[in-house]
Amino acid sequence: MSEESCFRGSWKDIPDTLFEKTSIAIGNFDGVHLGHQRLIKDALNAAEEKGLTPVALTFEPHPLKVLKPEAAPLLLSPLSEKVRIIRFLGMKHVVVLNFSEELFSLSPEEFAEEVLLRKLKAKFVVVGENFRFGKNREGDRERLVALGKRLGFEVFIQPPVISDGLPVSSTRIRRILKHGKVEEAWKLLGRPFKITGKVVKGEGRGRGLGFPTANVDAENELIPKTGVYAVFVEAEGRLLKGVANIGYNPTFGGEKLSIEAHIFDFSEDLYGKKIGIYLIKRLRSESRFANVSELIKAIERDVKCAKRILEWEVLSFFYSYFYA
């Protein structure tokens, strides 16, 4: 395998010789929040102590999209971003299994024997307390521990990470973001929430107002509450300050949700390029203004407020966190 690799496909297509002995963190890892990060850290620590290859095992699509589509959650991050964060945290090998009826039809014993042992060569496995596996989700943590003892791999059950008296979870973060509380989400994610997508052609109104914007076709399924946000924009290998509007442009009678970012002191063409928008603080709700002049005044206030928030201390944190 290459030093950094990502396998994506059916469990049957994993070459039997791809791994030797592994330490595996298993999860959906939606958002890769603090709880997921603890799982990954435990697997990495075990790999270092026991001389194993560290592997993150996840699934695509989310199991509920196959098993119960009407109950499937809106995902916090697209697969590419999830894999990027997992690698950033130090996990060099990521296995993304196609979650299909074929995989789900495996009994807990078959999943442990065929996938974990034969394909992935598991010697150490880390899962959360609520981990379920196998046909009809019959396997639980106790069964995995028992199977590990029989098959020769150690199992560690990671207790929930608690923040403000409650477990950190993807569900909790989704609820927080739907209320626009991006600072609370930052605390649970360990980093600001990021919207990723390509810059597409917009209506061109921003330039006419004196505040050109990059209009983003978001890859994220979950979009936070509408409003104006102070943001950092990751573009062309740089981290830039700006403001972003998530909403419907009510002053112009808009009906389609749009995500637009105005980058301070920036005039380069980003059309067709992929960027990331980190939401730092929600400044205000989206409003319908009586005329364009009132809208321009509001944007000027937004820019001034955002510049005050996005001081060098926060920028320094970003560079140390993402580019160290």
Residue type, 179: H
Using DSSP, state whether 200 is helix, strand or coil: strand
| Helix-helix angle 170-178:182-189, to 10 degrees | 160
Residue 230 and residue 228: Cα distance in Å, rounded?
Answer: 7
What are the angstrom distances between the C-alpha of 305 and each of 55, 85, 284?
Answer: 43, 30, 11
Catalytic residue among 260, 286, 294, 300: 260
Residue type, 265: D
Residue type, 195: I
Instruction: Give me the residue label for tokens 């059916």.
Output: 10
What are the angstrom distances between the C-alpha of 274 and each of 146, 217, 219?
Answer: 46, 9, 10
Distance of CA 229 to the CA centre of its chain: 19
3-state helix, strand, coil in the chain (%, to 5): 40, 30, 35
Instruction: Identify whether 221 is a catalytic site residue.
Output: no
Q: Which of 244, 241, 242, 206 is nearest to 225 (CA)?
A: 244
Residues contacting residue 186 through CB under 8 Å, at least 6 positions apart: 192, 193, 280
Query: ∠ CA(38), CA(44), CA(46), 5° rounding?
Result: 105
Residue 293 and residue 251: Cα distance in Å, rounded?
Answer: 11
Q: What radius of gyration do the chain's Cα atoms show? A: 22
Catalytic residue list: 260
